[in-house]
Structure 1
Amino acid sequence: MDGLVRAWVDGWVVSRGAAPPVREPWGFTVDVGQINQVSRHVFEALGDDVPEGAVRKVADGVTGAGVCLKVFQNPAVVGGWLGDGWWINPEPGYLMTVPLTPGHARAEASEAPEIPAGYRMRGWSVGGVRRLLVAAPDGSLAARGQVALSDAGAKAGTEAVFDQIETAPAHQRRGLGSLVMRTLQATAAAEGARTGVLAGTPAGRALYETLGWHVAAMLTNAKFTGAGD
């Protein structure tokens, strides 16, 4: 799992157009520049290796609303480390990985479900991010997703970070999520990626595991909302 978090951070930065990560003793700081997420502190350790003292110290030093923490440990555990003013998502996230082999592109392409009648799928690339859109028959968004190749580590480009995978509620249970993921996995594999990385929700985890993904660690998402809140 060495370098997994760094790969996720680097790929996420490319995917979202955020500032390059700043290396910290405990992980990384990323400036995002949004009202609801000004910056994020991402701890590099996983599970029981997460340093409680470092999390407490970083959290206690936050004074501005909109600063987020990403800690790869159970929210029930991390919640006890944070003081007043921190909102903690009670629903855990999951850091997940999947191997992408040289033959993955052909396999994924052959196993991807067909596009339902009336739907339209289009893919394009901008700034190192490969994006995919599935439009409904009426032109509204049915499903989407994107993937960015990470620049982390000595083997730059061997990790692909999957991001913003979404299926609109009205279009779920039609195989669109699987269609998007298999198409993006094939795209990443064809471009030389050998490992897929993502941070998923419990609902997303169910889909990803059917596609061969495995959980590397739980993820706590926390945001500072202001002292006294």
Structure 2
Amino acid sequence: MDRVVRAWVDGWVLSRGAAPPDVEAWGCTIDMGADGHVTRHVFGALGDDVDGAAVRKVAGAVTGEGVWLKVFRHPAVVGPWLGDQWWVDPEPGYLMTLPLEQERGPLPAVPDGYRLRAWSRGGLHRVMVAAPDGSWAARGQLAPTGATAVADQITTSPAHRRKGLGGLVMRTLQRTALEEGAETCVLAATPAGRGLYASLGWTVSAALTSAKSTGPRGGDSRT
């Protein structure tokens, strides 16, 4: 398995409280046990190294709903490998990394009226930003796993975007990763988040296809 993929898997499992991954020749299987997200199969190769035959074989063995595939290649390539029971997100995600030696200097200031809170529990580090009226404005969390750390669930409220809050959350988490002894941060970015992370020095390792089994009858199930 590619080392960046394995780093992401290990941190994501910790971040989401999932079962330890079962390693396979093609990647790994992770049990989540949630409605709509029972299990996910993560393929271990990147880009042109992804084995289409392996993706077809694993996907073809899935019969139930709520099983996800994560394949590190563009949806335009992966989609034709899958049958009618699969909903494929047409927009790619992105596996991204950041070398932490550049995470130096002062952190951004918290905007006037906003409040930042950071805490750690159960091996996770969390950051929350509250708006001036006390409502939620932004959040994120970090799962350190040794030399790498995974940033996850980075979100900014639509009402509070374009105020630097996403960057504030990320820089706080990146600094925490550095203090924890990590050398590299890893995350899976949405198309919307890619620009923010790129502005902070993150680079793309591969496109990411997300596909969900909708069962024998198919249907659109975007959860």
**Common fold, TM-score beyond 0.5?**
yes
Asked if 1:186 corresponds to 2:175, the answer is yes
Answer yes or no: is 1:30 the counterpart of 2:19. Answer: no
Alignment of 1:209 onto 2:198: yes
User: Residue 147 of structure 2: which of 158, 179, 184 is its match?
Assistant: 158
Question: Which of 126, 129, 150 in structure 2 is aligned with 1:134?
Answer: 129
CA distance in structure 2 between the partners assigned to 1:124 and 1:183 by the alignment: 11
In structure 1, give the amino acid aligned to 2:216.
A
Amino acid corresponding to residue 174 of structure 2 in structure 1: Q
Deviation of 1:84 (Å): 1.3
1:67 corresponds to: 67
* Alignment partner, residue 91 of structure 2: 91
1:53 aligns with 2:53: yes
Tell me, in whole angstroms, the C-alpha distance in 2 between the residues paired with 1:164 and 1:141.
Answer: 14
Aligned length: 218
Whether the 8 Å CA contact 2:2–2:46 is kept in 1: the answer is no
How far residue 33 of structure 1 moved from its aligned partner, in angstroms, is: 1.1
2:181 is the alignment partner of 1:222: no
Q: Which residue of 2 aligns with 1:148?
A: 143
CA distance in 1 between partners of 2:2 and 2:67 (Å): 26
Instruction: Output the CA distance in 1 between the equivalents of 2:192 and 2:46.
Output: 21
Distance in structure 1 (CA, Å) of the matches to 2:132 and 2:20: 39
CA root-mean-square deviation: 1.1
Aligned twin of 1:7: 7
Q: Is the 8 A contact 2:2 2:44 kept in 1?
A: no
Cα distance in 1 for residues equivalent to 2:98 and 2:3: 15
> Deviation digits for residues 34-84 of structure 1, max 9, x if unmatched?
111101000000001000000000000001100000000000110000001
Q: 1:2: Cα distance to partner?
A: 4.1
SS at match of 2:132: coil
Q: Return 5+ residue gaps in structure 1 as ranges.
A: 151-156
Which of residues 116, 120, 123 in structure 2 aligns to 1:125? 120
Structure 2: segments with no counterpart, 5+ residues: 219-223
**Could you report, residue by residue, the CA deviation over 1:199-226 in whole angstroms, capped at 9, with x for unpaired residues?**
0011111000010000000000000011
How much does 1:113 deviate?
Answer: 2.4
Amino acid at match of 2:53: G
CA distance 1:227–1:160, change in 2 (3 Å): same
SS in 1 for 2:120: strand
Find the aligned partners of 2:56 and 2:159 in 1 and give their Cα distance: 41
Find the counterpart in structure 2 of residue 81 from structure 1.
81
Please report the TM-score for the alignment, with normalisation by the length of structure 2: 0.95
**Corresponding residue SS for 2:62:** coil
Matched, 1:168 2:180: no
Q: Retained in 1: the 8 A contact 2:2–2:45? A: no
Structure 1 residue runs of 4 or more that deviate by more than 4 Å after TM superposition: none
Query: 2:136–2:157: 8 Å Cα contact kept in structure 1?
Result: yes
Q: How high is the TM-score relative to the length of structure 1?
A: 0.93
